[in-house]
Amino acid sequence: MKDAGPQAIHLSDYAPPPWLVETVHLTFRLDPQSTRVLSRIRFRRNPAVPGDHDLWLDGEKLTLTRAAIDGQPLDLVPESTGLRVPAALLPADGFEWTAEVSIAPAENTTLMGLYMSKGMYCTQCEAEGFRKITYYPDRPDVMARFHVRIEGDLPVLLSNGNPAGSGDGWAEWEDPWPKPSYLFALVAGDLVAHSGSFTTASGRDVALNIWVRPGDETKCAYALDSLIRSMRWDEEVYGREYDLDVFNIVAVDDFNMGAMENKGLNIFNSRYVLASPETATDQDYENIERIIAHEYFHNWTGNRITCRDWFQLCLKEGLTVYRDQQFSGDMRSHAVKRIEDVLTLRTRQFREDGGPLAHNVRPESYVEINNFYTATVYEKGAEVIGMLRRLVGADAYDAALRLYFERHDGQACTIEDWIAVFEDATHRDLSQFKRWYTQAGTPRLRVSEDWDDGTLTLTFRQWVPPTPGQPLKEAMPIPVALGLLAPDGTEVQPTVVLELTDPEQSFRFEGLAERPVPSILRGFSAPVILERDQSVEERAFLLAHDTDPFNRWEAGRSLARDVLADMATNGSEPPQLFFDGLRSLLGDRTLDPAFVALALRLPSEEAIAEHLHGQGHTPDPAAIHTARRRLSLLRAQDLAADLGCRYHEMMVPGPYSPDAGPAGRRALRNAALAALSQLDGGARAAEQFYGADNMTEQLAALSALLEIGAGETELAAFHDRWKGDRLVMDKWFSLQAMLAPPDRAASVARTLAGHPAFDWKNPNRFRALIGGLAANAAGFHDPSGDCYRFVADWLLRLDPLNPQMAARMSTAFETWGRYDGGRQTLIRQELSRIEATEGLSRDLREMVMRMLG
Ligand code: PHE
Ligand code: ZN
């Protein structure tokens, strides 16, 4: 990495902590303006670090009222980032630190540390929020047992672990499992629970509670059901049992991220807990299931085994995402889930990997760790684990995971530890494989074919483009799953995994009767960009015949992408074969409707821009938008009869169920609706909008109307119906920003920002509008630069209050390098304006500096 400024922290500078913590006793006297936090902490010398050492305690924005060591008062002058106690004052074999600080949760707008959301106290400590609660060695390699007492005039007082007594205005909690401070949590408020229970495989009864604000308890059933299924799945698939008597989940409206895996007390953004058929879409339900599982799975991959330092973030996140993907696949459809995951990877991670923010799955330096909770750490981190499993095989993967849990339970670990477990379990040398953690950028894989007298030779050439700080790359190990199909569609070579290790490698398949069609990178076996000269006919053939569902989808996808790229760059017309391929897919009643719906989804404008850039073109957002709309219309015209048929056929009778089956039918039905709306002026969509008894159908209808420039009345009706529901209103904001016509995007966004319900301090609402606008590719990149200015203004406004959110949203600008000189200048002007702003947060400053290069 290029040095990102003077305060960058480097992996190579890691040093173990000289002082370890045995136990922590915390007492909270809650008050919005002045909460007092009393701490009693038992320190012991780290035997691995010889010599005398000062004690460094992190602390930020704390008012210290007193501190003592073994009862002896100390007169310390805090620095802005913490406190140093000189070694001379520290008894050699350990001591007890006591302190009292005061903090003001009601004034805390950062949503890190202890803050308030609508009268409720709530904490967020990952990555470095605990230091805003009290003085402490706030680093994940310091693990301790916590005992917490909460005093406050609120009905519900929660912390980690098991309950250890409660009375009027107080409660105590005891967490028997040593944990780093980032997993600490406290919640206090007027909350109600939706409860259940779970009995673990070895017979432990666990009380399950989902805590929400009164009125929301009717929207928790799906979250609870997902939790129970997650607990059972982790026992069955990974042999992991839950280890406390209670498991609490709290839903909070003001939360920067999705959710947080605090030990025994997960805290969730309410959008990933609350659901009812009328207010949540199928997608919302799927997200709830996935995120509930993700946080639960962290109990082992993250909490019992944690990270030594924040550079190792992917150790817990990549693995836990991989586990939640497996879970969702088991609960739903593996084929559909894989396609969805690859879509996410390509949309978010390939974009990141191909721009100025590219970084290793395990970064080597950072200024602000909050800026590294990225698609690369999470999604590419999960892909790396999927590759590892493919390379060693499912049984060896299971054996390696057993060894991982056995060897490292209770420890704070590194990627080296993780790789060593796989090497020891499989006796393979994984040193080259480690490059997936230490080299950034998406590898490109070029395939050429040679057919000669019954022998097919495939030659692969790989190339990893330079990324910031990494001009030269070494060859990656790439597992390529591959099969061969005969011209009649039969599979003559079932899936094999080729292991590429060199810059160029050839593989021969002999004794073939006829020239086969290769199906390459089945299941998307590696996170690479495959480059292949392939005829439209061959793609159509794979779309019709591939036995691998991912590659069947991919054939249609790459065809659509190329058709769109041609239309956008030279105004060509789509080939009839494209429509014919889709027609046979649409007519195939043996296919899962969810799969067909995905196959009908055209690549996003963003995806086409990225592809064109990769091909050496300068993408024109307006031309891409026009081409995509035109293809969508031509397709609707060509397939009108078939779409109409499917629209009726896919009606889901009876009461709403969020299960994969009915959700897939609705997905196909709504895809047909969006297409047909271009032909019928929105008549069907309006009918569906007013007749819908669930949010999936209602929102899809509204979206279909907005896409054809209609829907004013319905937008107003939707607003009136849902103005009291904050999660539904987020949809109202984001849909309008996302679907505004390009030349009106800025004015629509300005109007929305002036709406009384635009509560910009709420992260979900801010993301709905600003993120929605950034997702409106042609609108955001309107040549006037209006949207660039609008977004930059809002980032500057949010930054002093919530730097973490401002920094995350600034990634709207990360693709500037793809575009023409005019747009580049406009975006860089905005980035420079932000950079030049006095008092900018470390978070946003780092992002802007990296983007400017
Ligand atoms: N650790 C959380 C997760 O992935 C994400 C998170 C990071 C939440 C930082 C809050 C703050 O499950
Ligand atoms: Zn996570």
> Residue 753 to residues 405, 458, 791: CA-CA distances in angstroms?
49, 55, 11
Range 577-582 contact pairs with CB under 8 angstroms and sequence separation of 24 or more: 577/536, 577/537, 577/540, 578/536, 578/540, 579/634, 579/635, 579/638, 579/639, 580/540, 581/539, 581/540, 581/543, 581/544, 581/556, 582/556, 582/635, 582/639
Measured distance CA(480)–CA(672) in Å, rounded:
35
Q: Which of 115, 122, 124, 126 to mutate to test the pocket of ligand 1 (most atoms within 8 A of CB)?
A: 126
CA distance 647 to 679: 14
Nearest CA to ligand 1 atom 2: 260
Q: Please identify, by atom number, the ligand 1 atom nearest to the C-alpha of residue 317.
A: 4
What pLDDT is stored for residue 1 in this prediction? 41
| CA pseudo-torsion sign 299, 303, 309, 310 | positive
Atom in ligand 1 nearest the alpha carbon of residue 129:
11
CA of 158 to the centre of ligand 1 (A): 19
Joined together, the tokens standing for residue 754 give: 């002036």
**Which ligand 1 atom sits nearest the alpha carbon of residue 302?**
1
> Which residue spans within 565-622 are E strands per DSSP?
none
Q: What is the mean pLDDT of residues 131-143?
A: 99
Which are the catalytic amino acids? Answer: 295
What is the whole-number distance in angstroms between the Cα of residue 370 and the centre of ligand 1? 10
What pLDDT, on the 0 to 100 scale, is given for residue 287? 98
Ligand nearest to the CA of 260: 1
Q: Would you say the ipTM is above 0.85?
A: yes
Residues pairing with 336 in the sheet: none
The CA distance from 495 to 511, in Å, is: 17
Which pLDDT score is estimated for 463? 98
**How many angstroms is it from 15 CA to the middle of ligand 1?**
25
Q: pLDDT (tens digit, 9 = 90+) per residue, 722-739?
A: 999 999 999 999 999 999
Atom of ligand 1 nearest to the CA of 370: 9
Whether residue 5 has pLDDT greater than 60: no
Mutation probe of ligand 1 site: the residue of 254, 257, 265, 306 with most atoms within 8 A of C-beta: 257
Given a contact cutoff of 8 angstroms between Cβ atoms, the answer to whether 316 and 420 are in contact is no
Centre of ligand 2 from the C-alpha of residue 142, in Å: 20
Which atom belonging to ligand 1 lies closest to the Cα atom of 112?
11
Angle subtended by helix axes 415-426 and 313-331, to nearest 10: 60
The candidate with the shortest Cα–Cα distance to 73, out of 64, 81, 82, is 64
How many residues does this entry show for the chain?
Answer: 853
Which ligand 1 atom is the nearest neighbour of the CA of 378?
A: 4
Distance 107 CA to ligand 2 centre (A): 28
Residue 534 has a pLDDT of 93
Residue 4 pLDDT > 70: no
Region label for 215, one of left (φ > 0), alpha (ψ between -120 and 50) or beta (otherwise): left
Kindly write down the DSSP assignment for every residue of 326-372, as one continuous string.
HHHHHHS-HHHHHHHHHHHIIIIIIHHHTSTT---SS-SEES-GGGG
Cα-to-centroid distance, 296 and ligand 2 (Å): 9
Distance CA 536, CA 353 (A): 29
CA distance 286 to 660: 9
Which residues form ligand 1's pocket by a CB distance below 6 Å? 124, 126, 257, 259-261, 294-295, 298, 317, 373
Residues of 5-36 as b/e, b for ≥16 C-beta within 10 angstroms?
eeebbebeeeeebbbbbeebbbbbbbbeeebb
Using DSSP's 3-state secondary structure scheme, residue 746 falls into helix
Q: What CA–CA distance (Å, rounded) separates 142 from 19?
A: 8
Distances (CA, A) of 191 to 50, 148, 157, 724, 795: 49, 19, 9, 19, 33
100 Cα to the center of ligand 1, angstroms: 28
Q: How many CA atoms lie within 13 A of 343 on its CB side?
A: 16
Contacts for 329 with CB less than 8 Å, ≥ 6 apart: 337, 338
pLDDT average, residue stretch 647-675: 97
Cα Rg of the chain, angstroms: 27
Domains, the chain, in order of start with CATH, read: 19-217+230-267 (2.60.40.1730), 306-438 (1.10.390.10), 444-526 (2.60.40.1840), 723-853 (1.25.50.10)
Name the residue of 138, 373, 804 whose CB sits within 8 Å of the most ligand 1 atoms, as the mutation to test its pocket.
373
Ligand nearest, relative to CA of residue 257: 1
Which H or E run contains 531? Answer: strand 529-531
Q: What is the DSSP string of 418-454?
A: HHHHHHHHH----TTTTHHHH--S--EEEEEEEEETT
Give 217's contacts (C-beta < 8 A, 6+ positions apart). 192, 193, 194
Q: Omega of the bond prior to 127 within 30 degrees of 0, cis?
A: yes
Ligand 2: centre distance to CA 571 (Å)? 44
Q: Under a CB-based contact definition with an 8 Å cutoff, are residues 160 and 262 in contact?
A: yes
Instruction: Say how many Å lie between the CA of residue 96 and the centre of ligand 1.
Output: 31
Residue 575 is given by DSSP the state P
Mutate to test the pocket of ligand 1, among 254, 261, 372, 374 (most ligand atoms within 8 A of CB): 261
Residue 2 clears pLDDT 90, i.e. is over it: no
52 phi and psi angles, rounded to 5 deg: -90, 135
Nearest atom, ligand 1, residue 321 CA: 4
Q: How far is the CA of 267 from the centre of ligand 1 (A)?
A: 10
Q: Smallest Cα–Cα separation from 365: which of 806, 846, 853?
A: 846
| C-beta of residue 445 within 8 angstroms of C-beta of residue 530 | yes
Sign of CA dihedral 727, 731, 732, 738: positive
Residue identifier of the C-alpha nearest atom 5 of ligand 1: 260
Q: How confident is the model at residue 818 (pLDDT cuts 50, 70, 90)?
A: very high
How many helices and strands (H and E) does the chain possess?
Answer: 30, 30
Q: Which atom of ligand 1 lies at the shortest distance from residue 291's CA?
A: 12
The DSSP secondary-structure symbol of 146 reads: E
**pLDDT beyond 50 at 3:** no
Q: Hey, whose CA ends up nearest to atom 11 of ligand 1? A: 126
Atom 3 of ligand 1, nearest CA residue: 260
Q: Which of 132, 260, 294, 313 is the best mutation target for the ligand 1 pocket, counting ligand atoms within 8 Å of the beta carbon and taking the most?
A: 260
Average pLDDT of the chain to the nearest whole number: 98
Confidence at 666, pLDDT banded by 50, 70, 90: very high
- For ligand 1, atom 1, which residue shows the shortest CA distance? 260
Distance between CA 89 and CA 108 in Å, rounded?
34
- What per-residue confidence (pLDDT) applies to 324? 99
User: For the sheet containing 265-269, what is the strand order?
Assistant: 192-199, 205-212, 246-252, 265-269, 259-260
Cα 183 to middle of ligand 1, angstroms:
10
| Helical (H) or strand (E) element with 102 | strand 95-103
Determine which residue's CA is closest to atom 12 belonging to ligand 1.
260
pLDDT of res. 344: 98
Q: How confident is the model at residue 450 (pLDDT cuts 50, 70, 90)?
A: very high
Q: Is the Cα torsion angle 98, 100, 104, 105 positive or negative in sign?
A: positive
Distance between CA atoms of 215 and 220, rounded to whole angstroms? 11
Neighbours of 800 (CB within 10 A): 15
Q: Name which residue sits closest to atom 9 of ligand 1, judged by CA.
A: 126
755-806 pLDDT per residue, tens: 999 999 999 999 999 999 999 999 999 999 999 999 999 999 999 999 999 9
pLDDT of residue 387: 98
The closest alpha carbon to 315, from 394, 405, 381, belongs to 381
72-116 pLDDT per residue, tens: 999 999 999 999 999 999 999 999 999 999 999 999 999 999 999
Q: Beta strand 365-366 with 9-10: parallel, antiparallel or unpaired?
A: antiparallel
**Closest atom of ligand 1 relative to the 294 alpha carbon:** 12
The pairing of beta strand 246-252 with beta strand 205-212: parallel
Give nearest CA residue, ligand 1 atom 7.
126
Cα angle 754, 272, 751; round to 5: 10
Q: Name the pLDDT band for 6 (thresholds 50, 70, 90).
A: low
CA 67–ligand 2 middle distance (angstroms): 35
Query: Stretch 677-683: mean pLDDT, rounded?
Result: 98
Q: What is the mean pLDDT of residues 584-611?
A: 98
pLDDT tens for residues 188-236? Answer: 999 999 999 999 999 999 999 999 999 999 999 999 999 999 999 999 9
Atom of ligand 1 nearest to the CA of 298: 12
Residue type, 8: A
Give per-residue pLDDT as tens, 496-551: 999 999 999 999 999 999 999 999 999 999 999 999 999 999 999 999 999 999 99
pLDDT at 349: 98
Atom 8, ligand 1: which residue's CA is nearest? 260
Ligand 2: distance of its center to the CA of 512 in Å? 47
Q: Is 714 helix (H, G, I), strand (E, B) or coil?
A: helix
Residue 277 has pLDDT above 70, yes or no: yes
Q: Which of 161, 148, 158, 168 is nearest to 191 (CA)?
A: 158
Closest CA to 796 of 758, 750, 760: 760
678 pLDDT band, cuts 50/70/90, is very high
Average pLDDT over residues 393-416: 98
